[in-house]
Every structure is written in structure tokens, then in C-alpha cells.
Structure 1
């Protein structure tokens, strides 16, 4: 499934750029994003396009610090239903828990997890989209908004102990200090927000216990369709079926078609308990059964159609799959 950003968050990026005097209409036009789609609350924009928007904005402004300043520019409640769930949680700990649970509603290209230790707690952000070629834009803007939101929720009592980024600094270090109010480390191999666990018990200002389940149910309804997972093995298998027209598709050919490296394909398939050869056999078996149920093609024609160099190889394979020869199955 394509990784996307909610249209509300896209509008926040555009609004932040507008506050700096930048007209973003040309950027949107080049990406074929219509004004109507920006008004549709259910619309989502693919991460590849969002990355292009960010890159164009920072280049036109000549200021790479805009993502880092998002927490200062926007109101925390602008995040929509996720913000409302967090605002009516009983305490900061539960609010952060719900942030991690429903964060995909806003952006499913960055996985946010929460680890509570004895004295220190960590919010861990990990990019999970190959389209995120400028991860610093997303990571800095999200962490900036989170820090601002936590302070607003606890009436400015929230304090970070340290912040870590995988990337190099994109702006003057003084800006990082102004945003996070704590030591910030770069190229540390992780994207962490670290704070004292004692702060998890801080109550949320003006939280309404009766509204919390209402907003959470809405969040669950929005999250459900985003979690319908399409297995990578199914994507590969579909591509194999497309290419099974008189020749056996190679792993290299499928990799080029999908625009994914061979090793990456093998790794992802292994994670799902599959192999390329297994998917090729499954695709051939399904197509063979489909063709054999039709009276128009001979078994020899089907063998060559499925990319077998010799009909005898197809016969042996089919009997291994089904326990029958192609002719017996057709009969």
C-alpha cells in the first residue's frame, strides 16, 4: 500500500510556507494537486509528492529550517482527530500511547513507537517508506510538532532530556536549541525524543473523560482502512503473472519492472516466508488450472505459454502440484 500524508497535514505545510510569503500554487500545479483535493478532508497525498513539495518549498525560501519550526508555526489542535484523542486522554502517558497507536491517520510513512524505561522514556521514529528520500523534512517537522503539543497538553510543564537525529543538522544549532530546549545529537543512528518517565503522570489540561471514547472511536474508524495490508509477495506474484507470456520471467526482470533491487525483493519475500521460485510456481499453477479449464488451448500450448522450454517439464511440475497430469485434470 502506498504511504501517504493526510490532506490536513499537507495544508499545514502549505500554510507554513505561506506565512513566510511563499506562493505554493505553482508547486501544486506541477504535481497536479487540485485546489478541490485540498478541501477534501478525506484526501491523502502520496509521500513522494509530499517530499517534492517540501523540497520545492525549502529551495524557494532558501531556508531548510522551516520543517524544524513547524511546532512554533501551527497549533497542536490542527492535527485533527489525533489531536482531539490526545487532548482528552487522562494523562501524558496515555496521550503518547494514543499518538503511537493512531499516528498512521496523519502519516503512515513514519512509524512512531514508545518505550518506557525506569527513569527515562523514549519516543522512537522510524521511516518505513522508500519514497522518503528527504527524511529530515518529516522527522524534524514531526518532532517539532510533538514537542509543542506535549507542552500545550501539560501547560508548558513538559521537558525533553535529549533529542537524537540520524541525519546531519540542517539548520543553525541555535534553532534546534530553541525548539527542543535540550541537547540535540546528530548522526546518532536513531531518531529519539528522550524525557524523564516521571512526566508521564502529568494530567492533560482540560481533558474531558466523556469525550475521550467518542474521539477514539472516530480515530479507530479512520485507522482501519489504512491498516489493510497488501503483502509484498502478492505484488511480486501479480507482476509475475503479467510477465508469464511465453517466457519465464527472471527475478532481475521483475526487480526492474517494480523498480526494486533484487536483494530488497529477496529480503522482503523472506520476511513474509516466501521465495521468488515459490511465487513463480504458484503463479504457473494457478494459470495452468485456469487454462486447462478452457477447451481452446492444448497442454503443449499451455506449457509454452507459461514459459516452459519443454512440455515434459510442465507435465512433471503440474503432477507435483496436483497429483494429476494436465490431461487427467482436464478430463
Structure 2
């Protein structure tokens, strides 16, 4: 079961850079932590989460300190998150980027759930780490969680400003015995341990500010890659397989549930039953996919409203207008005008 929980090998990009900079023998470290040398060349393979945690601990011991997590974060590269990193980098706002990593987090790892909550004037980016059933021990070590949250903040500084800081960072883990000043220095805010949740608390308004690097066309291209990748990562996730098929077929008109079932080699009843077991339906998947595409296309000035309607599978502008108003309470034209697009 420990091998079932894994993370993307993209983490080796910043980890290997830090190891090399501090004279840590990479080949020896990988062997000690039972990690294949192939992880250095195959960016779509996976590392068992347990082995990654061992590697971080190995590096802390080799350095004789505890701050390897923030050293890794400082070496952030979008490629460490596969296409997700590039989709995040081209997001319109930090809020959008955090939503993307929560939605596509299985590309990076299957060891946790990520949630974004709005509370008062705050955006709470929560990390719910899974535990092993037999021992109730968290799958991710404290150092691994530190590395991930520090990377999120380093990423935010790439998007917003190098001086960007969250309001607070919380860890559900007990406070370690060693000095934790390196985390306070890195996050530039209060760091709390023994918290009820592991999370980063942001100023909501700051996360919603439009970014200069926003590029919906690039983001959309990478999201199509991500949906295909997620279908490969978890072949049992039928909803993502269906979403990928819908992406392909929408310009020809919205595919029916029967067409999708036939394309997947399944009976209609079997398709409906499996989707019901996943807590969804074909209608919900089609609706959410159309909405997602439409919101990506609407900010692309070179596309007319009729073209967008066609691209998301509507046979007439009127039908597209009614659907868009159902999603946003505005017509496509009014939405473009109010958003200064």
C-alpha cells in the first residue's frame, strides 16, 4: 500500500539542484532511499511518497540542518508540476492558479486532497494529508509538507511579486524540537503548529488581482494536456476519461451519452452506473466541461461569441446565450463588457 501513494518525479528538478549545489552525491542518495535512477530522466514516472520523504530526511541529515524544504522551494521550476506548472504560470489570477492545482492535484500526487475556502476576507488553501489505515500515520512527513507549501509560496512570488507573503501558514503536525525560524523567515508570516488543519491563509482580494502573465489560450492548451495525463494517471477515473472525449468532440456538437458509451466500449447502463458510483452523471460532466471551456474562450478577444458557442457544442447563439446566463447570471456579451475584455 505504501507504493500506491506516489508523487510526480518532477520534484527531482529542484531537489537535484539543491543536492548538487551542496555537494550531496545524488546517485548515492537515490540508492540509499531505494529510488530508481530513471527518475532523473522520465518526467512522467512516479516516486513512492515514502521514498521521497526518506530522500528529504537524508538530505537534511547530510546538511546537518533542517531547512532542506525551503532550499528546494527556492529552486522552483514550473516543469516540476508537469503541464500543471505551466497552466498555473499562465493563470489570470493567483486565485485561478490555486484552483487549478486543487483540481489537478492528482497529477502531482495522490497523497492528499487540496481545497480552497473563502472565509470573510481570506482565501484558505487547505491540504488534507491522507493517512495509512493500519497505523493512522500521515502519508507525508512534516518535511514533505513543508516542501510543498513552501513551493506554493515560491510559485506565488513568481506570479505576484518577490515580496509576496501569505497572512499565516498552519501545520497540523506537532511543533518539532528543532528551531523553526527558517520557516518564519521564508514564509514572512506567522507559522502555527498543532493546528486543526494544514493550510495557507491568503488575503482574498490579493489573490483575485489580475496578473500580467495571464494567458487563457496557453492555459487552455495545458489543461487539455492535463486531462489526458490524469486519465493516464488514474485509468479508473471514468469522469476524466469522458471529459477528455468531450473536449475532442465538442466542436462537432455536444456528444450524447450513448455516443460516449459506444466510444468507450461500454453499455449505456454500465456507464451510468459507474458515474453514479463516482457521485456524478454525464449531464453534470458535459455541463461543467462546456462551462469551463466557455469561461476560457470568453476572455480571448479574437473569438466572436458565435464562434465560442460553436466551440463548446451549441448549435445556435441563442442556446449558448441561455446556457452562459445560467452559469454566470449574465449574457456572454454583458460578461465581456463588465469584465473589460
Shorter-chain TM-score bucket reads 0.5 to 0.7
Please name the residue that 1:82 is paired with. 84
The answer to whether 1:64 aligns with 2:70 is no
The answer to whether 1:151 aligns with 2:153 is no
Please name the residue that 1:213 is paired with. 220
Distance 1:229 1:139 in 2: 27
Q: Is the 8 A contact 2:111 2:139 kept in 1?
A: no
Please name the residue that 1:264 is paired with. none
Q: Is the 8 A contact 1:155 1:205 kept in 2?
A: no
Q: Is the 8 A contact 1:154 1:203 kept in 2?
A: no
Stretch of structure 1 that moved more, 65-74 or 104-113: 65-74
Give the TM-score normalised by structure 2: 0.62
Q: Is the 8 A contact 2:10 2:79 kept in 1?
A: no
TM-aligned CA deviation for residue 126 of structure 1: 1.6
TM-aligned CA deviation for residue 225 of structure 1: 3.0
Q: Which of 76, 97, 100 is the equivalent residue of 1:98?
A: 100
Q: Is the 8 A contact 1:76 1:152 kept in 2?
A: no
Matches within 5 A, 1:257-272: none
Distance 1:3 1:20, change over 3 A: same
Distance 2:25 2:200 in 1: 33
**What are the Cα deviations for residues 3-60 of structure 1, in whole angstroms up to 9, with x where unaligned?**
1111111343233222222113122224453433421122111112212222222222
Distance 1:29 1:176, change over 3 A: closer
Give the TM-score normalised by structure 1: 0.63
Distance 1:152 1:222, change over 3 A: same
TM-aligned CA deviation for residue 78 of structure 1: 4.0
Please name the residue that 1:142 is paired with. 148
Distance 1:77 1:43, change over 3 A: closer
Q: Is the 8 A contact 1:76 1:148 kept in 2?
A: no
Q: Is the 8 A contact 2:111 2:140 kept in 1?
A: no
Three-state SS of the structure 1 residue aligned to 2:201 is strand
Please name the residue that 2:117 is paired with. 115
Once superposed, what is the RMSD of the aligned Cα atoms? Answer: 2.4
Please name the residue that 1:163 is paired with. 169
Distance 1:86 1:3, change over 3 A: same
Unaligned runs of 5+ in 1: 231-271, 273-331
Please name the residue that 2:275 is paired with. none
Larger radius of gyration: 1
Please name the residue that 2:35 is paired with. 33
Please name the residue that 1:179 is paired with. 186
Unaligned runs of 5+ in 2: 238-277, 279-341
Please name the residue that 2:232 is paired with. 225
Distance 2:143 2:105 in 1: 17
TM-aligned CA deviation for residue 191 of structure 1: 0.8
Distance 2:176 2:32 in 1: 29
Please name the residue that 1:43 is paired with. 45
**What are the Cα deviations for residues 120-163 of structure 1, in whole angstroms up to 9, with x where unaligned?**
11011121143755621221001101011112112346431111
The answer to whether 1:126 aligns with 2:128 is yes
Distance 2:193 2:81 in 1: 27
Q: Which of 191, 196, 211 is the equivalent residue of 2:198?
A: 191
Distance 2:33 2:232 in 1: 25
Distance 1:77 1:45, change over 3 A: closer
Matches within 5 A, 1:291-306: none
Q: Is the 8 A contact 1:164 1:190 kept in 2?
A: yes
Query: What is the total number of aligned residue pairs between the two structures?
Result: 231
Q: Is the 8 A contact 2:56 2:68 kept in 1?
A: no
Distance 1:9 1:184 in 2: 24
Distance 1:227 1:178, change over 3 A: same
Q: Is the 8 A contact 1:121 1:194 kept in 2?
A: yes
Distance 1:135 1:195, change over 3 A: same
Q: Is the 8 A contact 2:14 2:77 kept in 1?
A: no
